[in-house]
Chain A
Amino acid sequence: MDWLLHPWPWYVAGPLIGLMVPLMLFIGNRSFGISSNLRHLCAITQPPQVDVDFFRYDWKEHTWSLVFVIGTALGGYLAGVTFANPEPVQLSAAAQGMLQAWGFALPVAQSLAPDELFHPGVRNFTFLFACGVLVGFGTRYAGGCTSGHAITGLASLQLPSLIAVLGIFGGGLLASWFLVPYMLYG
């Protein structure tokens, strides 16, 4: 049962993620993608007096997609709690040196996210919420995220997805090179 506890190498994890695309097609002719669920959650919770057009549709037709992300959270619980990895993330030496220079504690936390940013507190939660807004706004503006564009879109050779992926990677490089290094000193 060791393989259930330890992290999986890329050549196991990657193909399994790729298999989501044909699995969803075979189950019910669905396109694999996660971020549209954020729209459905808005459609469910939008108060009637707000009534933005973009969220006025029959979200019940997308129940399958919401069931999928409920499963994702359950899978997260199984992998992260029931079969939790007893070791911290095994980063490359280069990454460890970089994190130390940025002021992050080493060895890295056993959790997947650093305490420095995710530990409950007003400052951290304001920052996480603001970044969440960027993720939600950006994915809907681009019409998809890593799953819908980088995986489903690129695998079906769609130009819009290539443009989106270039944008996503560009935005990530900007943040990771020019902001994250100074985050703990700001």
Chain B
Amino acid sequence: MFRYLPYLFVGILFGFVMIKSEAASWYRIQEMFHFQSFHMFGILFSAIATAMASIQIIRRLHRRQALDGQVIDIPAKPPGRKSYLYGGLIFGFGWGLIGLCPGPVFALAGTGSLGAMIVLAGAMHGTWLYGALKQHLPH
């Protein structure tokens, strides 16, 4: 069990930031989609920049080893276009309506929000529906 502890701590930090940054706020998401504040864009751009710089540094390290001894590498996403575009559109549409994407859903559910738990239940059903219909969808 101990080997999972680092994931728990990083997860706690992530959930804390989701709430303190107000990325889990429906209000902030509407403000973002109407380009009325830099706040959410600042979060996204600086997060991407930080992750990009980190990846560049890791790629140049001589010993690219994780704590458990594995060699660090970032797997490539499977090639394709349709699934990324259609899936993104459907997810984005839902995100625009309820202002919650999967990270914030878990964080907001943790605050005891019944509404966020309902969204989570819906998201599980949606995921299941995708699994059931997968072979009939364009990819």
Contacts and interface: CB of A to CB of B under 8 A. Distances in A.
Given A136-B124, A137-B130, A143 B83 contact: yes
Interface residues of B, number: 116
Contacts of A143: 77-78, 83-84, 87
A14 B43 contact: yes
B110 A136 contact: no
Interface in B70-84: 70-81, 83-84
Contact of A117 (B3, B19, B115, B128): B115
Interface string A146-173: 1101111111111011011111111111
Contacts of B105: 132, 135
A2 B112 CA distance: 23
Given A73-B109, A138-B88, A39 B127 contact: yes
Nearest to A56: B131
A8 B21 contact: yes
Interface in A71-107: 71-81, 85, 89, 91-92, 94-95, 98-99
Interface in B89-128: 89-103, 105-116, 118-128
A167 B89 contact: yes
Contacts of A15: 46-47, 50
A53 B41 CA distance: 38
Contacts of A165: 88
* Contact-size category for A: 35 or more
B2 to A, nearest CB: 11
Contact of B72 (A26, A85, A111): A26
A76 B102 contact: no
B46 A74 contact: no
Q: Which of A65, A108, A111, A171 has the most CB of B within 10 A?
A: A171
Interface in A17-59: 17-32, 34-35, 37-39, 41-42, 45-46, 52-55
A10 interface: yes
Contact of B113 (A70, A94, A111): A111
B95 A135 contact: yes
A157 B48 CA distance: 10
Given A18-B48, A34-B102, A71 B11 contact: yes
16 contacts: A18-B49, A29-B70, A42-B128, A76-B107, A76-B110, A79-B18, A89-B25, A98-B34, A113-B25, A132-B119, A133-B94, A135-B98, A139-B123, A142-B87, A147-B102, A163-B85
Given A42-B131, A72-B110, 19 more contacts: A10-B39, A19-B50, A24-B7, A28-B70, A29-B71, A38-B127, A72-B14, A76-B107, A79-B15, A79-B19, A112-B27, A118-B26, A120-B115, A128-B118, A136-B125, A136-B130, A137-B91, A167-B92, A174-B96
